[in-house]
Amino acid sequence: MYAFLRPWLFRQDPETAHDRVLEGLAWLARRGPLLRLVQRLFSLQDERLEVEAFGLRFPNPVGLAAGLDKNALALRAWPALGFGFVEIGSVTALAQPGNPKPRLFRLPQEEALVNRMGFNNDGAEALAQRLAAWQQAYGKLPVPLGINLGKSKAAPLEEAAQDYLRSLALLLPYGDYFVVNVSSPNTPGLRRLQEKELLAELLGTLSGFLQGRKPLLLKISPDLTWPQIDEVLELAERFGLSGLIATNTTTQREGLKTPYPEEGGLSGRPLAQRSLEVLRYLNKQLGGRMPIVSVGGIFTPKDVWERLEQGATLVQVYTALVYRGPSLPKQLCRGLLHLSEGAPIGGLLNRPAIPEADPKQHGY
C-alpha cells in the first residue's frame, strides 16, 4: 500500500506531508478496535526479539527515534506499528515555534532528509499534561517510552542546566528513560554543550536530580572528533549515565552523491557509514560497560544486524520510515529472526568489543 501512497505524499511539501501523516496516526491512536487490527497486521510479537537494557524490557530492539512525534500526538499508534520502544521530543522547557519554514527537505535519490526544525514543540508543561491524559485514558504504554530533552532557544548557555532540569522535573513521572540532547545542529550554540565543562555541569545537575530513579542517556553528534568523544565518554561514566545514543544528524555532506545547498542536519543513508564508525569506536572504548543505542542510516534487517554485531543493544529509525513506510518495524524484526537463525536476540548482545582500525585514518 505504501508504494502507492508514497508518490502522493512526496508531491507535498515534506513538513506538510509529515503533519498530515501524524494527524492520521493521532486519529488512529484513539480508536481501540482499529488500533488492535493495525497491531495484528503490523506488529511481530516474538519473545526471541526481547532485549533488556538499563533496567527496562524491550519487546524488540527497533525503536522510533526522537523528532517524528515531538509532542506525543500519536503515542499509542507507534507500538501498534511494531516499534519496541518510542522516543518523543525533543521537548524544551519553553514552547517554541522552531526555525522559519521551509525547514525540512527530502533527497529521494539519496534516501535522506535534511532538517533544520529547531526544536519546534509545545513545551514541557503541555507535554506533561498530554502524557498524563494518555495515561489516565489508556494506561501505561506497552513499550518503554523515552523522552528526549532539548534546550530552549531563549535560555542562554549558562542557564542550560536549569532549563533542562525544568523539563525533566515536569516529565519525570511519564518517561521510562530520558535523553539529554546536546547534539542537534539546528539550535544556535547547542552543540557547545558537548564541551567538557558545560557538559559536566549539565550532566551533574540532571543525574544529581534523578538519583538513579530513571535511566539517563546522552545523544551525541556524529561530527565530534575522537578526542571529543573520549571526553564525552569520561563524563558519561563519571556521572553514571545509563547509556548513549549515537548518533544525531550531521552537518557534513561527504556522504552525498551530489552537493545539496540547504543547511541543516542530514539523516538517512548518507549518515550510515559515519554512524557505524562512531558505534564501533564507542564499543571499543566502553568494552560493554554501557548500552549503546545506534541510529543513523538504518534501513534493512542487515543494517540492524550489523549494528547489533558491532556493539549496539538497541537501534532507532526515522528517515527509513519516511522512505519505506509503516511496515518497516515488522520487516526489520522478521529479518532479524531470520539472520539470528531463531536464536534469542538478547543472548547475542553480550559480545566483546570488535577491534577497530586506527580512528585517525577517518580524518576525525
At 364 the pLDDT is: 52
At 350 the pLDDT is: 52
Q: Which pTM does this prediction carry?
A: 0.96
Residue with cell 557538559: 199
Active site residues: 184
Taking each helix axis from N to C end, the angle separating 160-171 and 196-210, rounded to the nearest 10 degrees, works out to: 30
Give the integer Cα–Cα distance in Å for 152 and 71: 15
Give the integer Cα–Cα distance in Å for 175 and 3: 34
The SS3 call for residue 344 is coil
Give the integer Cα–Cα distance in Å for 180 and 96: 18
364 residues of the chain, pLDDT tens digit each? 899 999 999 999 999 999 999 999 999 999 999 999 999 999 999 999 999 999 999 999 999 999 999 999 999 999 999 999 999 999 999 999 999 999 999 999 999 999 999 999 999 999 999 999 999 999 999 999 999 999 999 999 999 999 999 999 999 999 999 999 999 999 999 999 999 999 999 999 999 999 999 999 999 999 999 999 999 999 999 999 999 999 999 999 988 999 999 999 999 999 999 999 999 999 999 999 999 999 999 999 999 999 999 999 999 999 999 999 999 999 999 999 999 998 999 988 855 444 444 544 444 5
The SS3 call for residue 131 is helix
Domains belonging to the chain, first-starting first, are: 2-348 (3.20.20.70)
Q: What cell numbers appear for 166 in the block?
A: 525544568
Give the integer Cα–Cα distance in Å for 274 and 255: 9
